[in-house]
Amino acid sequence: MTLVWIAISVQKSWDASRMMKPPCRGSKLWGERFLVCGSGGAVVVEEEELSSASRGRNMRTEVLRMKMEALAELSKSAKDAVPLGQGAVFWQPPEQALDRVKHVALDISTSRYGTHEGLPELREALLRKLHQENKLSKSSVMVTAGSNQGFLNLVLSLCDVADSVVLFAPYFFNAYMSFKMTGINNILVGPSDPTTLLPDAEICRRAGSWLVVDNAYEYFVYDGCEHSCVEGSHVVNLFSFSKAYGMMGWRVGYIAYSLEAEGLLTQLLKVQDNASICTSMISQHVALYCLESGREWVQSKVKILERNKELLRDALLPLGEEAVKGGEGAIYLWAKLPETCPDDIEVVCWFARRHGLLLLPGSACGTSGYIRITFGMLREEECEVAAKRLKNGVEELIRNGMVERHYSSFTPSDLKTSTPSKILQLCKSGSLSSALQLLNSLHSHEKSTLKPIIYAALLQACTKHHSLSIGLQIHAHAVKSGLETDHFIGNSLLAFYFKLGSYFSETRRVFDGLYVKDVVSWTSMISGYIRVGRPTNSVALFPEMLGLGVEPNGFTLSAVIKACSELGDLKMGRSFHGVVFRRGFGSDCVIISALMDFYGRSNEPGDARQLFDELLEPDGICWTSVISALTRNDVFDEALWFFYLMQRDYGLLLDEFTFATVLTALGNLGRLRQGKEMHAKAVVAGIRGDVVVESSLVDMYGKCGVVEESRRVFDRMAYKNLVSWCALLGGYCQNGDFDTVIELFREMEEVDLYSFGTVLRACAGLAAIRQGKEVHCRYLRKGDRRDVIVESALVDLYAKCGCIDFAYSIFVLMPARNLITWNSMICGFAQNGRGGEALRMFDEMVNEGIKPDYISFIGVLFACSHTGLVDQGHKHFTSMSVKYRIKPGIEHYNCMIDLLGRAGEIEEAENLVRNAELKEDSSLWAALLGACSTSTNSIVAERIAKKMMKLEPDYHLSYVLLGNVYKAVGRWSEAHKILRLMQDRGVKKITGKSWI
């Protein structure tokens, strides 16, 4: 059985200037009529009929384009949706191919232009493959940047503006776009049947038409089916590496054209030279090494997809077995929609909004009334999640679709008497297309007499179901009916535009045009300004509203308080706190929750706690708000106490946000056992698949040091967002696996400032200057805004890699600096032997009003130690505890011991250790012992060594140092006794090692 999923026959009128001749010049159809090749044979269409059909199709195409644009916008906003629409596979190229290509990247020839036809070694391998596997013995090969470019090259080479083409549906939508881009409007579509490829090829040969066949899925066949190719002087075959070898992003495909097609190569080379010049050289090498893995490697991957196919087919079965097509080849299933849901684009939008699935409407491929489902992009565990969603969606679609059937035909009298109730019923069921159709029918019979509340209900339904295109049409109806300025419709329009699109100017125009602006209107504008990132405008509207005599409600005040949170203005927020209580909203849980969130974001957890304590009956939102405020400010133990109190005494149900907040607290406290308990509770509660909860689990396990479990949760996630990736990066970085952090960062398609900061810390930990520079360049290219955390990490990176002057140049140019920035610079100067500059930086920081911390004094004391500034060291060591109330730690004592030891003041160093506020710590005595190596005071050295031998009997340096002291003063017998004592205790001297 032959399986070909897209076949395009092209009717060509030849131009002698191309130095090519037609495959069959004697056809009686030549130049007079157009041949349409369909699954049932050939149909001859008169030119007049074709033009008429083309005009009608062009009108439908414009409508389709508008709908697809709305669908694309919806897809961008559907962040948690599972992708079942894109034609891709989940695997990447064979591992051995990726390993072998590494050396190619360093070869200078890889950076130069290649030949237009492709890498010679790759073309030779492809010719062998075509001869042996595809039985195409009379074909040659041109390598292209994916079969997409190969097809476009063919369109530009074979077609003129006035030519006509035939597509077999379902077709690849990019093929249709390629024809439209080149000015070919005479496009007819026939039904696809892969079993008729050979007779179709013969019909094209007799008619003098080209036949272009796409073989992208040559290895994707199931149930004993086989793929075969057709060859002829009029046939061109397209092939791709994208699906078979998981090379979607590498962009490699190839054209197999007949050696008998005189002049075709010349034309293809012209197009190739003006388009891409050549396919990426490194991608071609990957393709070459993939071929060496053989078709068996691909078939092993394809076999995995059979389980996915069955899962999704079962999910579609409620539509009926006859409604589900495909599955014998490729990676797609096609499902015919019920008659009650004819608009496949609206159905796809509905699936995205309601069930979190991204599907492809059949209209995009010439098969309206169908949806396309891809089963190649997900791993089996991800596909199980998708199948469950798909089945739920299909079952609900069938139930709700039955409602529409009763309104398929209305008489004018029906429209007059029952339209409002029917429209409201359709809105309630989510059948927006039918509601719009009914509205259009009403307007076509007579001027609309609908009340404003009906338009408002329609707009609210569009907002709820994220239907931008229908909402725009309803707005147009309202304008036409002269009702746009009605406050019911106006308020609905404000909510619609703010939630679904970036139509800010249109939204403001609607607001300004309202005759009556009630509290809902003002609240919509205040909330809308926050949604589009303009909190200053939100706050400014509030006094304007009061000046016009409009009293705020709870939602208004909540919105204004949220604006204060976004602005970070504590003083203004406290003012609105007073407004809340003066206007009698002190017991409103919604407003109090907003205030607690505000204080949490303003680093005032005590105020949030006080607000909560004053509530008589806090609801679940208030509990979550206070837990969140405490967690945000690192008051983790108290946050957990509130959580357990909420569970024990009130038994409130947990939502996703509460789970995520508690997991954050547990992770920061390192409480792994309790974290696992919360994980189990999330599974029992049925919210394991929620992206917010799963991202928090990734973060919790990483902070608890169990990065393997963190990675396991991450790999099982059906959808991974930026937060998930950042949580995984942070876990690996915190646990010192810096190499993995860099690898993961390179895999990320989308990055943010947090991920930049994390990977830069990893590069600094490895002193990986080259990788750090790559990240620096990527940060500069992103260029959306300067960030003090990222640039502080850059200062730290370059300082640790020895590029201290470059680090300082970044520091100087920073528009803002925080304590971390100053610490990075102080420690950087100290570690690079420029102690004087480190101390100067410390003084500058203090003069700018920035209070030093624990890390600041480590850098300062390290600088004093390595520059011999004993007095300065004493001064700073004393000031940290007396002036800044910072208790010295082991690092500070070690710096002071080193400073005094270098200065020969070993007895003072000993007194410092004996008087240390720390519990007796062997590491301090070890540092003191190390300082004795340069001391000439044998009595003190002996005393310290014996103290260290008592604290750490197995520490070999104590014995070695004491023996050396005895030898230095001529006490040889004591030196031999120490050596024997070391042997008797089994203490072994550790051999020093170094890299050369």
Q: What is the mean pLDDT of residues 873-891?
A: 91
Q: Residue 826 — pLDDT band, cuts 50, 70, 90?
A: very high
Is 668 exposed, middle or buried (CB count within 10 Å of its CB: 0-12, 13-18, 19+)?
middle
DSSP secondary structure letter of residue 253: E
- Top mean pLDDT of 165-174, 215-224, 531-540, 705-714 is at 705-714
Q: Per-residue pLDDT averaged across 696-707, rounded? A: 93
Do residues 459 and 489 make contact, with C-beta atoms less than 8 angstroms apart?
yes
Q: What gap in Å lies between CA 185 and CA 192, rounded to an integer?
A: 21
**Would you call 988 helix, strand, or coil by DSSP?**
coil
Q: How many helices (H) and strands (E) does the chain have?
A: 44, 15
pLDDT at 15: 31
Q: 756 with 768: CB under 8 angstroms?
A: no
* CB-based contacts of 884, cutoff 8 Å, min separation 6: 851, 852
Q: What pLDDT is attached to residue 655?
A: 79
What pLDDT, on the 0 to 100 scale, is given for residue 5? 28
pLDDT value for 23: 35
**What helix, strand, coil percent values describe the chain, rounded to 5?**
65, 5, 30
CA distance 383 to 82: 9
d(CA 372, CA 71): 14
Sheet harboring 235-240: ordered strands across?
139-144, 253-258, 235-240, 209-214, 6-11, 164-169, 186-191
Radius of gyration of the chain (CA): 37
Return the pLDDT at 595.
93
User: 54 falls in which pLDDT band (50, 70, 90)?
Assistant: very low
Instruction: Give the confidence band of 766 by pLDDT, cuts at 50, 70, 90.
Output: very high
Both tokens assigned to 889: 């730690």
804 CB-near residues (< 8 Å, 6+ apart): 798, 828, 829, 832, 834
Beta bridge partners of 331: none
Three-state DSSP at 602 gives coil
| Residue 269, pLDDT above cutoff 70 | yes
* Average pLDDT of every residue of the chain: 80
pLDDT band at 743 (very low <50, low <70, confident <90, very high): very high
Round to whole Å and give the CA distance between 816 and 821. Answer: 9
Higher pLDDT, 54 or 499: 499
**Among the ranges given (132-146, 222-236, 392-406, 574-588), the one the predictor scored with the smallest mean pLDDT:** 392-406
If residue 436 lies in a helix (H) or strand (E), which one and from where to where?
Answer: helix 432-445
pLDDT band at 419 (very low <50, low <70, confident <90, very high): low
Strands 253-258 and 235-240, by their bridges, are: antiparallel
What band does 920 get if pLDDT is binned at 50, 70 and 90? low
| Alpha-helix runs per DSSP H in 219-280 | 264-275
Return the higher-pLDDT residue of 731 and 445.
Answer: 731
Residue for token pair 């945000």: 632
* pLDDT single digits (tens) 296-329: 899 888 888 888 899 999 999 988 888 888 888 8
Indicate if the pLDDT at residue 404 is higher than 50: no
Q: For the segment 9-26, what is each residue's pLDDT rounded down to a tens digit?
A: 333 332 322 223 233 332
> DSSP assignment of 723-783, as one string?
HHHHHHHHHHHHTT-HHHHHHHHHH-SS--HHHHHHHHHHHHHHT-HHHHHHHHHHHHHH-
Report helix angle 722-734 to 707-716, nearest 10.
Answer: 160
pLDDT class of 233 with cuts at 50, 70, 90: confident
User: pLDDT band at residue 443, thresholds of 50, 70 and 90?
Assistant: low
User: Is residue 423 pLDDT above 70, yes or no?
Assistant: yes
| Pairing mode of beta strands 82-83, 357-358 | parallel
Q: What is the 3-state secondary structure (H, E, C) of 634-667?
A: CCHHHHHHHHHHHHHHHCCCCCHHHHHHHHHHHH
User: Is pLDDT at 46 greater than 90 in this prediction?
Assistant: no
Predicted confidence band of residue 444 (pLDDT cuts 50, 70, 90): low
pLDDT beyond 70 at 148 = yes
pLDDT at 704: 94
Are the beta carbons of 329 and 222 closer than 8 angstroms? yes
DSSP annotation string for 175-207: HHHHHHHTT--EEEEEE--GGGHHHHHHHHHHH
pLDDT exceeds cutoff 60 at 442 = yes
pLDDT in tens, 948-972: 777 777 777 777 777 777 776 677 8
DSSP string for residues in 98-152: HHHHHHHHTSGGGGS---TT--HHHHHHHHHHHHHTS--TTEEEEEESHHHHHHH
**pLDDT tens readout for residues 773-786:** 999 998 988 876 77
pLDDT (0 to 100) of residue 393: 86
Q: Is the pLDDT of residue 418 over 60?
A: no
Query: Of 80-84, 237-241, 318-322, 421-425, where does mean pLDDT reach its minimum?
Result: 421-425
pLDDT of res. 32: 28
Residue 901 pLDDT: 83
